[in-house]
């Protein structure tokens, strides 16, 4: 493969990730990278972002509010992390001997493990991407050539300090405060942003099931949803909309068993 693929080609190409995408999942990836949208795709973009106009520019930050099984890990955040690690324009900004890191941050060891396993499969199951490995992946780190590491981090405010970061995934960011300090989500984001200073095209993806009207996720929604912000793309959609393979009857059962979390995971955009 000689030319750099688009994010959509990277995800769909059988020699790379070989994943299928629903219409909304593909539109979200296109929007993050400022790719062209047709008129039907623009309607979905407006529905899920509250924006009247599609700017067609790449966003360095994206916040995705969606429920379980919406594909926000497997089809959005993890493919973006792998894409940036493989094709990102970051090596020329590294000092000699400096290590570039893609942090995977989530509440609890199991949370980081989910995203980690998705990304590990990208680099171990694709013949092309396997060539990028510096060594065999360990329990919590994937070392790539070009002085690059994809690594799991706990959701504590001191964990991310001092790293050189060109891409990051904050997974289930709504729940960082439950595991860490009251300000752990904003402190983690601040550490990540500081680590990205030297990389002009760094990419930060924040994903979560919405739960409470407080914290970083709510701030992003309040400040950027439905607004023409050049800095952050906020996307909100129901699980069944993002992933049409989910059965409505199954989602309704979840709502009956757990009305608060079930409704949060399946709320409509807007």
User: Does residue 139 have a pLDDT over 80?
Assistant: yes
DSSP category for residue 248: H
Distance CA 111, CA 92 (A): 32
Output the pTM of the full model. Answer: 0.89
| Strand 164-165 to 100-106 pairing | parallel
**Where are the domains positioned within the chain?**
7-265
Contact 254, 262 (CB under 8 A): yes
Q: What is the average per-residue pLDDT within 13-28?
A: 97
- Per-residue model confidence as pLDDT tens digits over 64-101: 999 988 999 999 999 999 999 999 999 999 999 999 99
| Strand 148-154 to 164-165 pairing | unpaired
Report the half-sphere exposure of 218 (CA within 13 A, side-chain side).
10
CATH class of 7-265: alpha beta
Q: Tokens for 17?
A: 């990730």
Instruction: Could you list the beta-strand ranges (E) of 98-191.
Output: 100-106, 141-144, 148-154, 164-165, 167-171
Contact 265, 172 (CB under 8 A): no
| Banded model confidence at residue 269, pLDDT cuts 50, 70, 90 | very low
Contact 135, 37 (CB under 8 A): no
> Nearest to residue 115, comparing CAs of 165, 166, 157, 168?
168
The helix-helix angle for 78-87 and 108-125 (nearest 10°) equals 50
| Strand 141-144 to 148-154 pairing | antiparallel
Distance CA 167, CA 87 (A): 12
Phi–psi pair at 207, nearest 5 degrees: -130, 150
pLDDT score of 138: 96
């Amino acid at each position: 493969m000689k030319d750099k693929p688009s994010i959509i080609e990277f995800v769909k190409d059988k020699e790379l990730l070989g994943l299928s995408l629903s219409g909304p999942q593909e539109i979200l990836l296109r929007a993050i990278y400022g790719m062209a949208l047709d008129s039907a795709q623009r309607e979905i973009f407006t529905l899920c972002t509250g924006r009247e106009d599609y700017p067609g520019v790449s966003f360095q930050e994206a916040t995705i509010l969606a429920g379980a099984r919406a594909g926000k890990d497997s089809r959005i955040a993890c493919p973006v992390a792998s894409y940036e690690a493989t094709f990102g324009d970051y090596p020329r900004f590294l000092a000699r001997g400096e290590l570039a890191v893609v942090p995977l941050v989530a509440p609890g060891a199991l949370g980081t493990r989910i995203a980690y396993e998705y990304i590990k499969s990208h680099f171990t199951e694709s013949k092309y991407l396997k060539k990028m490995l510096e060594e065999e992946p360990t329990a919590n780190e994937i070392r790539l050539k070009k002085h690059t590491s994809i690594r799991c981090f706990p959701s504590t405010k001191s964990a991310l300090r001092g790293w050189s970061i060109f891409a990051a995934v904050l997974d289930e960011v709504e729940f960082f405060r439950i595991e860490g300090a009251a300000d752990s989500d904003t402190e983690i984001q601040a550490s990540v942003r500081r680590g990205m200073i030297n990389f002009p095209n760094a990419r930060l993806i924040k994903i979560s099931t919405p739960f409470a009207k407080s914290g970083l996720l709510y701030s992003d929604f309040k400040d950027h949803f439905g607004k023409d912000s050049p800095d952050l793309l906020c996307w909100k959609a129901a699980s069944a909309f993002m992933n049409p393979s989910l059965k409505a009857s199954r989602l309704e059962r979840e709502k009956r068993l757990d009305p608060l979390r079930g409704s949060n995971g399946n709320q409509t955009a807007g």
